[in-house]
Amino acid sequence: MAGILDGKVCIITGAGNGIGKAHALYFASQGAKLVVNDLGGSRDGAGKATKAADEVVEEIKKAGGEAVADYSNVATLDGAQNLVWTALSRFKKVDVLVNNAGILRDKSMLNMTEEEWDLVQAVHLKGTFLCTRAYGRAVKSMNQPGSVVNTTSLSGLLGNFGQANYSAAKAGIYGFTKTVAMEFQKINVRVNAIAPVAITRMTDDLPMFQGASLEDMGPQHISPVVGFLASDLAEGVTGKIIGVQGTKVFEYRMEVTDGIHKDKGAWSAQDIKSKWNDIVK
């Protein structure tokens, strides 16, 4: 039976471990040719090594798939451009980009350093921007359709204590996805995002996962959703933010209350106070 990604060349960033690795193995099982990107650092972004990406590529090849490793830093212009060039030089085209790379530098707001803020913004938000721009320019020049799947987060959409840097970056990816989905329609590229909840090396020590198992909340639940969004099965689907929590799949939407109009003149602070419950219900 043909895979849903047969013949497609797919770039997956941060694919050496966790959710990214699960994406790479699933995409390969569905017939995709992979660029497996991973800088090889720890979960806080420290260090660099080729082992993580190399091992995933080797696993894909042993299973009969095609893949090439890339060790670029997606938070840099050169890294993003090299990442796309790796796909073009090896496979002569690129169809799909999955922006998954990320790091954590959790700290309460008053104790957070500027470096801890900047590093998380660079990898998550700037990296998503740089890679998407490089990919979009390549796809436009080839005049072919494509798909981008970004990675936002429960923290970015609803907030989480101790993650002001991470939640701000992930909230930015939400807005970025909505806007780029509009812009990329003219080059026939769909842009969506997932907000995954899964047990990985990034999250296995979080209280919310106490008592949960990999079988219930592992990355294997996330990748088929990303594969769907990347594939032609999702034709016409763009600008969506899809949550995945174990076997539950759903859409995040911005909520707007009905609000109320003032009969005459501008609102005063006292007017707002008196009508507050009607404004927010």
Element holding 110 (H helix, E strand): none
Tokens linked to 200: 């990985």
> Could you give the C-alpha distances from 24 to 61, 74, 205, 212, in angstroms and in order?
12, 17, 24, 24
Task: Please confirm, yes or no, whether 174 is among the known catalytic residues.
Answer: no
Alpha helices in 143-202 (DSSP H): 154-158, 164-183
Bridge partners, residue 54, by sequence: none
What residue has token string 């763009």?
238
106 phi, psi to nearest 5 deg? -70, 135
Cα(79)–Cα(276) distance, rounded to whole angstroms? 49
The answer to whether 35 and 76 have CB atoms below 8 angstroms apart is no
Give the bridge partners for 147, in sequence order. 96, 190
Which distant-in-sequence residues (6+ apart) come within 8 Å of 206 by Cβ? none
Residue whose entry in the numeric block shows the structure tokens 């047990």: 199
The rounded distance, in Å, linking the Cα atoms of 281 and 279 is 6
Q: How far apart are CA 73 and CA 59, in angstroms?
A: 22
Which residue among 135, 166, 174, 252 is the active-site one?
A: 166
Residue 8 tokens read as 């497609």
Any idea which residue has 């799947």 for tokens? Answer: 149
Cα–Cα distance for residue pair 168/196, rounded to 1 Å: 16
- Catalytic residue numbers? 166
